[in-house]
Amino acid sequence: MIYKLSTEQKNSIVDQNIFEKEEDGRTLTFSIKNIWQSGYLTFESEGLPYLDLKNENGLPVFAAFQVIDLITEKGCGHKFEFSSSFGAKEEDEVQKIFAEDGFRELEKHGWRQTSLKTWFYGPLVLSSLTG
The string of pLDDT tens digits covering residues 25-60 is: 788 899 999 899 999 999 999 888 889 999 999 999
* pTM of the full structure: 0.80
Angle subtended at Cα 61 by Cα 55 and Cα 63, rounded to the nearest 5 degrees = 110
CA distances from 42 to 67, 105, 108 (A): 6, 30, 32
DSSP-derived secondary structure letter, 46: S
Is residue 41 within 8 A of residue 69, CB to CB? The reply is yes
What does the pLDDT read at residue 2?
Answer: 94
Q: How many CB atoms lie within 10 A of CB 131?
A: 5
d(C-alpha 26, C-alpha 35), whole Å: 29
Q: Is the pLDDT of residue 23 over 90?
A: no
Q: Is the pLDDT of residue 96 over 70?
A: yes
What does the pLDDT read at residue 131?
Answer: 63
Average pLDDT for residues 1-14, to the nearest whole number? 93
The most distant pair of C-alpha atoms in the chain lies apart, rounded to whole Å, by 56
How does residue 76 score in pLDDT terms, banded at 50, 70 and 90? Answer: confident
Q: For a pLDDT cut of 70, what percent of the chain falls above it?
A: 99
